Amino acid sequence: MILAAGSPAVRAEPARQEHLPRILVLATGGTIAGTASARSAIAYNAGGVLGEQLVASVPGLDQLAVIKAEQVSNIGSQDMNSQVWTQLAKRIKQAFDRNEADGVVITHGTDTMEETAFFLDNVLDVSKPVVLVGAMRPSSAVSADGPGNLYEAVEVAASEKSRNRGVLVVMNDTIHTARVVTKTNTTSVQTFLDPNDGPAGLVDPASIHYFMPAAPRHKLALALPSAGLPRVEIVYAHADMDADQIEAAVHDHAKGIVLAGVGDGNASQAALGALEDAARHGIVVVRSSRVGGGLVNRNVEVSDDKAGFVVSYDLNPQKARLLTQLLIGNGITTPANVQQAFDDAY
Position 111 contacts ligand SIN (CB under 6 A): yes
Contact 69, 4 (CB under 8 A): yes
Among 23, 31, 192, 246, binds ligand SIN (CB under 6 A): 31
Closer to ligand SIN by CB, 29 or 201: give it.
29
Q: Between β-strands 207-210 and 201-204, what pairing exists: parallel, antiparallel or unpaired? A: antiparallel
Position 73 contacts ligand SIN (CB under 6 A): no
**DSSP letters along 159-175, please?**
-GGGTTS-EEEEETTEE
Residue whose beta carbon is closest to ligand SIN: 109
Residue 45: DSSP 8-state: B
Where does this chain touch ligand SIN (CB under 6 A) — which range of 90-98, 108-116, 151-159, 228-236?
108-116
Where does this chain touch ligand SIN (CB under 6 A) — which range of 36-44, 70-78, 173-181, 223-231?
70-78
**DSSP letters along 65-86, please?**
-EEEEEES----GGG--HHHHH
**DSSP letters along 126-171, please?**
-SS-EEEE--SS-TTSTT-SHHHHHHHHHHHHT-GGGTTS-EEEEE
CB proximity list for 102: less than 8 A, separation 6 or greater? 21, 22, 23, 65, 128, 157, 158
- Quickly list H helices, the chain: 14-17, 51-56, 61-64, 82-97, 113-123, 146-157, 244-251, 269-280, 304-307, 317-329, 335-345
Closer to ligand SIN by CB, 46 or 284: give it.
46
Closest distance to ligand SIN from the beta carbon of 3 (Å) = 25
Contact 140, 37 (CB under 8 A): yes
Closer to ligand SIN by CB, 76 or 230: give it.
76
31 is catalytic: yes
Closer to ligand SIN by CB, 31 or 245: give it.
31
Among 21, 51, 103, 109, binds ligand SIN (CB under 6 A): 109
Q: Which of 28, 31, 110, 191 is catalytic?
A: 31
Closer to ligand SIN by CB, 116 or 312: give it.
116
> How far is it, in rounded angstroms, from Cα 290 to Cα 159?
36
Total of chain residues touching ligand SIN, rule CB under 6 A? 11
Closer to ligand SIN by CB, 102 or 152: give it.
152
Q: What are phi and psi of 165, to 5 degrees?
A: -120, 10
| Per-residue contact string for residues 75-94; x = within reach of ligand SIN by CB under 6 A | -xxx----------------
Residues 11-30 that bind ligand SIN (CB under 6 A): 30
Closest distance to ligand SIN from the beta carbon of 321 (Å) = 18
Residue 279: DSSP 8-state: H
C-alpha atoms less than 13 angstroms from C-alpha of 185 in its C-beta half-sphere: 10
Closest distance to ligand SIN from the beta carbon of 119 (Å) = 15
To which H or E segment does residue 236 belong?
Answer: strand 232-236
Closer to ligand SIN by CB, 31 or 177: give it.
31
Closest distance to ligand SIN from the beta carbon of 142 (Å) = 16
| Per-residue contact string for residues 125-144; x = within reach of ligand SIN by CB under 6 A | ---------x-x--------
Closest distance to ligand SIN from the beta carbon of 208 (Å) = 24
Question: What 3-state DSSP class applies to 223?
Answer: coil
Which residues are known catalytic residues?
Answer: 31
Residues at the contact surface with ligand SIN, assessed by CB under 6 A: 30-31, 46, 76-78, 109-111, 134, 136
